Structure formats: structure tokens, C-alpha cells
């Protein structure tokens, strides 16, 4: 869950920096940059620790949303025009960041489902 929070905060920062760069006439770090996305990611960063113990279903839904967003960004890095990124470094930095986010979401989902299943077994 801590890795999910870190991913969401770093992704929100990525989007905010991209918007700032665009506002200054530069290029964003990736093909898209959005304050709305940054805000959603910050809400997700708060939702992960708040919901994991009390509302497992909400945690699972937020994790699923984060995982889908992360894997979508990874796939986009390999299928979209590479010139949408300012450099190969930033393209692969996005792959690493979102790859970690996807794995963290997957681990979080499996852990919660497994723990709920084990509690109902015994």
C-alpha cells in the first residue's frame, strides 16, 4: 500500500510538472499532462491508507483503477509515437514509474482478496 501511495504522489507530481512546463512554453514529460489527473491521483493517495482496513471493497476499486491507469500508461509508452516524450529517458522513466504502480496495485489487490478469503475459511 505504501508503494501505491508513492506511485500516486509521484504520478500526480509528474502531471503537475508537465502542466507547469506547458504553461512556460515547454514540453510536458509525457504525452499528456493534466491538473485534473494530478488531483485524482492525490485523492487516490489518500484513499489507499484510509480504505484498506475499513472498506476493503473501496480499496479494491481504487487499486483496480490505479492499476488500470498504470498499465495503460505502460502500454501507451510502447504503442504511441515516441516523439510525444521529450526524450527516451522520460519515456522509460514513465514506464518504470507506472510499471511499479501496476505491480503495487496487483500486490495490493491479491493481498486483500487473499486475507479476506483466509478469514472466511477459518
Instruction: List pLDDT tens digits, range 30-83.
Output: 999 999 999 999 999 999 999 998 899 999 999 999 999 999 999 999 999 999
Query: For residue 31, what pLDDT is reported?
Result: 93
82-106: per-residue pLDDT in tens?
A: 999 999 999 999 999 999 999 999 9
Q: Is the pLDDT score of 121 beyond 60? A: no
First CA to last CA across the chain, in angstroms? Answer: 25
pLDDT value at residue 42:
98
Count other C-beta atoms under 10 Å from residue 79's C-beta: 7
The total of other beta-carbon atoms located within 10 Å of residue 62's CB is 24
- Reduce the DSSP state of residue 18 to 3 states and report it: helix
Number of alpha helices (DSSP H) and beta strands (DSSP E) in the chain: 4, 0
Exposure on the CB side of residue 114, measured as CA atoms within 13 A: 6
Cβ(98)–Cβ(71) below 8 Å: yes
Amino acid at each position: 500500500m505504501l508503494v501505491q501511495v508513492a506511485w500516486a504522489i509521484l504520478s500526480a507530481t509528474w502531471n503537475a510538472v508537465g502542466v507547469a512546463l506547458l504553461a512556460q512554453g515547454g514540453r510536458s514529460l509525457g504525452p499528456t499532462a493534466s491538473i485534473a489527473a494530478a488531483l485524482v491521483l492525490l485523492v487516490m493517495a489518500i484513499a489507499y491508507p484510509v480504505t484498506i482496513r475499513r472498506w476493503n471493497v473501496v480499496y479494491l476499486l481504487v487499486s483496480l483503477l490505479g492499476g488500470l491507469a498504470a498499465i495503460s500508461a505502460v502500454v501507451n509508452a510502447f504503442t504511441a509515437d515516441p516523439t510525444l516524450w521529450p526524450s527516451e529517458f522520460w519515456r522509460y522513466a514513465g514506464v518504470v514509474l507506472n510499471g511499479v504502480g501496476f505491480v503495487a496495485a496487483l500486490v495490493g489487490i491479491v493481498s486483500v482478496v487473499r486475507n479476506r478469503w483466509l478469514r472466511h475459511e477459518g
